[in-house]
Amino acid sequence: MTLDFLLTTLIIVATPGTGALYTLAAALGGGRRNALIAAFGCTLGIIPHMLAAALGLAALVATDPRLFELIRYAGITYLVWMAIGLWRSGLVQEQTTEPRQKAWRIIRKAVLINLLNPKLSLFFLAFLPQFVHPSDPAPLLTMIGLSLIFMAVTFLVFAIYGLAAAAMRQGLVERPMRMRLVNHVLAGGFVLMAGKLALAQR
């Protein structure tokens, strides 16, 4: 592990994406508990992509256009479904009235958001090998170690995002109009992410 890897990882993770957006929604809906669970779920959703990159399976997604398109359209559909739920006062409103939402539901949604994004597999396929020296006697173990560090940074950053959003939750709960506006803004964010994925190329 090098300083370059840590800095690059921090920049990548801190850049807002679907995982961060979902963590914010969960935090505003259910407070700190839901924020941390969502951050954990988004982190778990990275594991399949990192394993694919470490084992070379991501190359299959890169070379098989049908597989790439299948995952991509599934991801677009899921993001649009999330956006519709938010626009109709789904996620944030629902969690506001039921803050003790079951953890597995939050984790399931978070994992699916990252799992149904084929660009993540391709990203890690290109990203991780850059920090493995050609003379490394155990490159697979090194990639796994780097992946775990990436996951730790992801959880930490997403948790910070979530806890910050949770701190503003009470003020929004007491103002339904503002909560509805937050729903719509987050829904628009998911639509933008779906559009970005729709325009993605292998």
Write out pLDDT tens, residues 129-142: 777 777 778 877 88
Choice between 168 and 200, residue whose per-residue pLDDT is larger: 168
Torsional class of 109: left (φ above 0), alpha (ψ -120 to 50), beta (otherwise): alpha
Residue 89's H or E segment, with its range, is: none
Domain-wise residue ranges, the chain: 19-198
Whole-number Å distance between alpha carbons of 67 and 78 = 17
List pLDDT tens digits, range 66-117. 766 776 677 677 677 767 766 665 444 444 444 456 888 889 988 888 877 7
Contact 169, 95 (CB under 8 A): no
Q: What DSSP designation does 1 have?
A: -
- Mean pLDDT taken over the chain: 75
Q: What mean pLDDT do residues 52-57 have?
A: 68
How far, CA to CA in Å, does 199 sit from each of 10, 139, 162, 190?
25, 33, 28, 14
Going by pLDDT thresholds of 50, 70 and 90, the confidence category of residue 58 is low
CA distance 172 to 60: 45
Q: 186: closest CA among 48, 24, 38?
A: 24
pLDDT for position 199: 72
